[in-house]
Amino acid sequence: MDIVSSNPGQHDAPQYYRPGPSTGRYPQYPQNPYPHGWHGGATPPPAPQQAPAAPAPQPGTTAQPGAAPQPGPGQQAGQGPQWNTASGWGPPPAGLGSGPQGRPARPRQVVTALVALVAAALPFVVMGIGAMFATINDAVLNDTGLPRADIDAALAQTGLTMDQLTQFVRVMGGVFLVLALVWIALAVVAFLGAGGARIALAVLAGVYGIPLLLLMAPTIPLFAVLVVALSVAGVALLFGRPAKEWYATRKLGAASRS
């Protein structure tokens, strides 16, 4: 029967001192691999694993374990994106919030302008489609509300026949339809953020709004006034302060991304 020695000098146990005279200095000893004691013939327990080191912080910054990412310049926790203005970092312009992907939210004045502009053009879409398929005859001329004698005098003066008048009405219906669709397209483009579209809308409102009012006022004055009022109100909203700030902010953001 073998007797297991408790002498750590046997069985190739580690040495914790150096033989020889003392130098007066205390050397750095290795960590004890047997913190719970050593027993001859027993397999030593594995050394504990150390946790991986945390990544080093960027130069000029200090980080603590478990700390959350620091907000950007001029931004506090829980705030939306900040805007780089001439006086430094600050909130978005007045009346604007934060939209998707940090873009400024569309002001409600732009939404109201789109509704007004489309409402002003829809009657002409319907009228244009109807005129393109219309046939002019005596019954239609009698239903216009104008004195028939005046209509006959105008036809005799211009030399137009009923067929020629029908073709003229259809062509004018196509023109009204195209202009109404262009008006709606410009309103949608302005709603999406193109500042040049609102300028085009202002030009169209001035070029066609006043003649339309003068042309339709004798027969349907209420309709003419309502259409012109909606058009002018929609264009005015696009040039209001909230809309102007929104267009300027979008233009600045597009320039910075490019």
pLDDT value of residue 232:
94
> What pLDDT is recorded for position 247?
93
Residues 202 and 163 sit within 8 Å (Cβ to Cβ): no
Predicted local distance difference test score (pLDDT) of residue 137: 87
Residue 64's pLDDT is 53
Q: Where are the domains of the chain?
A: 106-257
Contact 121, 129 (CB under 8 A): no
Distance, in Å, from the CA atom of 14 to the CA atom of 32, rounded to the nearest integer, reads: 9
Residue-level pLDDT at 102:
57
Dump the DSSP string for 202-237.
HHHHHHHHHHHHHHHTTT-HHHHHHHHHHHHHHHHH
pLDDT tens, per residue, the chain with 258 residues: 445 555 555 555 555 555 556 565 655 555 665 555 555 555 555 655 655 555 555 555 555 555 545 555 545 544 544 555 454 445 555 444 545 555 778 999 999 999 999 999 999 999 999 999 999 888 888 887 778 888 888 888 988 888 999 999 999 999 999 999 999 999 999 999 999 999 999 999 988 888 888 888 777 889 989 999 999 999 999 999 999 999 999 888 777 776
CB contact at 8 A, 166 and 134: yes
Contact 240, 96 (CB under 8 A): no
Q: What pLDDT is recorded for position 55?
A: 56
Strands 88-90 and 83-85: antiparallel
